[in-house]
Amino acid sequence: AQSVAQPEDQVNVAEGNPLTVKCTYSVSGNPYLFWYVQYPNRGLQFLLKYITGDNLVKGSYGFEAEFNKSQTSFHLKKPSALVSDSALYFCAVRATGRRALTFGSGTRLQVQP
């Protein structure tokens, strides 16, 4: 079985400050990890992924995520938040060889001007 936990329903941060959105996972074998973003009334957009290799992954719009195998975490980060980053963020995992994605419950990011 595979599962994802996003422990925060909402994260509030001031514009210009760094942001972190947390994600922990459980999977048998090696994980493929993903972050997706959902803007209001839109579908999910792919942000970044960890497949293998460097633990620090860079993605779209200045976001990055750090894979930590010992802590089974894949936190999303950005050095300087923008108001336009306000959206719903989903972490997802799937095991190598499987296609089914398991999503977390989502974290709403609010960036205040």
Binding site for other proteins (CB under 8 A): 4, 6, 9, 32, 34, 36, 41-46, 49, 51, 90, 92, 96, 99-106
Q: Which of 4/27 has CB closer to other proteins?
A: 4
CB of 26 to other proteins, least distance (A): 15
Q: Which CB sits closer to other proteins, 19 or 92? A: 92
**In the complex with other proteins, which residue's Cβ is closer, 51 or 56?**
51
Q: How far is CA 102 from CA 15, 27, 79, 90, in A?
A: 31, 10, 27, 10
Q: How far is the CB of 105 from other proteins (least distance, A)?
A: 4
**CB burial readout 20-51, b (16+ within 10 A) else e:** ebbbbbebeeebbbbbbbeeeeeebeebbebe
- Report d(CA 51, CA 113) in Å as an integer: 35
Closer residue to other proteins (CB): 13 or 48 = 48
